[in-house]
Structure formats: C-alpha cells, structure tokens
Amino acid sequence: MTMRFFLTLLWCYLLATCAGYLAYSLNLPLPWMIGPLVVTAAFNLLVRPVNIPVRTRPVGQMIVAAQVGLFFTGEALSAIYDHGLAILGVAICTILFGLSLSYLLRRISNADPVTAFLSCMPGTPVEMGNLAIRYGGDPGPVIFAQTLRISAIVLLIPTTLYYLLDTPAGSRPLNAHSVDLMGMLFMSAGAAASSLLFYKLKINSPFFLGALSFSCIATATGVIPVSGFPWQMVAFAQILLGTWLGSTFRRELFQQAGRLVVSICITSALLLLLCTAFALLLSYFTDMDWKALVLGAAPGSITEMSLTAQFLHQNVALITAFHLVRIFMILPNVPWMLALIHHRANKVARTTDS
C-alpha cells in the first residue's frame, strides 16, 4: 500500500465519517451507513473513483453480526419457530421472483444468461461477482445490480418506515445492550475464530455467518459471557460497509453499458416492489406485523437489513431469520443452477453455429 493510496483512503473515510455525522445530526435513519454510502458513490461518479479495499467489508460484517446475535434470546427463537412457514414461503417466492426477472432482464438488455441470473438473484456483490467470473458472466453489471438493490433498500425502506412509524429521534440507540471489557474480548475472539472457520470451510458469507453463529449460540446458551460493542464501534462498522458499497458505483459502467444499466434499474425496482407486495399480502392473511414482514421479505443483504431492524425496534432475530433462510436456500444452490444455465447457453450457441 503506497503512501498516496493510504492518504486517499484516509481522506475518503474522513469524508464518509463527516457525512455520517451530518446524517445523524439531521436525524436520518441508519445515518452512519447511508451518509457514507451516498457521499462515496457521488464522489466515485462525479469526481474520480476511489478503490476501497474489499477486505474492509468483512471487518464491518463481523462487528455487525456479533451485535445482531445478541438479539437471539429464547423468546426470539420461539417467535422464529412459530413463523417458520411464513419464513420459508417468503424465501421461495423471492427465488421465483428473481428467476422470472432474470428472464426479463435477458429479453430487454440482451445480457448473457449467467449475468442476468446473478444480477437478479439476491446475494452479496462480492460473492455474486466472483461467481460471474467463474461461470463466464460479466462481473461489472452483476456487482452493480447487487449493490444497487442493496443500496436502494438501505435508502428507501428505513427512511419510509421511519417516517411512517414516526420513530422518535431519541430512541434510536446503536447499542441496546450492556458493554463490559471482558465480554467484548470474548465476543471479538469468538466471532473472529468462527468467521475464520467458516472461511476455511468455504461457507458463503463466512465473516457474517460465522460471527453471527457464535454470537447466537453464546447468547442463547449463556455459557460464554459475551458483551455488545460500544456504539462508536458499531458506527465504525457501518461506515466501513457504507463506504465500500458506495465505492462499487463506477462511472465506466454507466458510460459503456447504458441499456444494461437501465434494465438492471428496472428489474431491481420490480424485485423490490414484488417482495414488498407479497409481504403486505402475507400480513393480510396472517397475524404477523406488516413492518416485520416488509423487512424480512426485502431482498437486501442480511447485514444491512439486520441493522435496519435494530434501528426501527423490530424483532431483529425474526427478521434475520428471514434472510438467513433465504441465503441458505439461494447461495448453496447457485453453483449447480449456474452450471446448468452455462451448459444450456453453450448448447444453444453450438446449435446456432452449426
């Protein structure tokens, strides 16, 4: 890392922190994530690109995941058990919506099947981009589509629900749990070790799911005396996540693939609308809170949606369960679905050539 790059990175984080503080002062929802996201994306698109190292995201993920796991109490786990069918139904419908929209994206943008599939199926930008490279897709549009959807959800859903619910500004703590030094040390060590284990086992989203698993088990069993982190550390984690998300918006993609970008914007908006509509419909036929269902069905990243749930004082464990089930239904099955899509695409190409 050169001194020039280090100074640029330092300046970028300073700007992102100021944006987060401004958003916090204005009582905006998720200020320490939305502020950095907006200012970094604007700087990337309007001034010049800043390369935020991808390894900064796992640090933010581990901190947030460990904090989220503290909500997995016995009462919360009972709520998850009681709503298992709704959680499964939301996951299945999200997958079907993604498959349908990937076909639409292919028709209106002429994108290849792999790129279209990975652009419409909810996942994380890094993992879906890597899968695009591995199976012959275009990682640029895939990363853009995943980041656009997550960013739009982070910007729109918390803001909309925040003002609909009229959440008081004074009741938005970043940390609702007690903090002690030894508990933090146990939490940090356990989260890091679990994340490393998940990474070695090649489990998807290892740095979030590993830290989350440790925190959940420690909280539910009470065997390990873990503690939450200070609000400053949670804010720091959100700054890392928001800055990295904003840095993935690249001017070149807009200049070189205008039609594809517009098509991705359309399909991303449709996916969000379909998931929201299904959540509202499900709330009509069940006794579940519509706000929890909207957050649970939102096709965003589990990291950002867990923070949103905490911010809006919703059942974090329940909403995290919605996203965990969807992740475990999508990510393990993406490789074989992509292999099938890739095989069919090559077969069609050979038939056309002959």
pLDDT tens for 73-112 read 777 777 778 888 999 999 999 999 999 999 999 999 888 8
Q: What is the mean pLDDT of residues 5-12?
A: 84
Whether 3 maps to a domain, the answer reads no
CA dihedral 135, 138, 139, 143 (to 10 degrees): -120
Q: Is 334 inside a domain boundary?
A: yes
Kindly state whether residue 88 falls inside one of the protein's structural domains. Answer: yes
Question: Residue 29: pLDDT band by 50, 70, 90 thresholds?
Answer: low
Whole-angstrom Cα distance, residue 71 to residue 73?
6
Is this structure's pTM higher than 0.85?
no
**Residue 337 counted as domain residue:** yes
Give domain status of residue 49, yes or no.
no
Mean pLDDT of the chain: 83
Where in the sequence is the domain holding 117, given as residue range(s)? Answer: 57-353
For 15, 17, 40, 59, 173, the CA distances from 10, given in Å and listed in that order, are 9, 11, 13, 16, 27
Count other C-beta atoms under 10 Å from residue 172's C-beta.
Answer: 17
In this structure, are residues 248 and 144 in contact, taking their beta carbons and an 8 Å threshold?
yes
In a domain, 149, yes or no: yes
Nearest to 300 by CA among 147, 177, 173, 115: 147
267 within some domain: yes
pLDDT digits (tens, 9 = 90+) for 182-213: 989 999 999 999 999 999 988 767 888 889 88
Alpha-carbon span 88 to 296, nearest angstrom: 11
User: pLDDT over 70 for what percent of the chain?
Assistant: 90
- Asked if residue 40 is part of any domain, the answer here is no
**Other residues' Cβ atoms within 10 Å of the Cβ of residue 50:** 17
Contact 186, 214 (CB under 8 A): no
Number of structural domains the chain divides into: 1
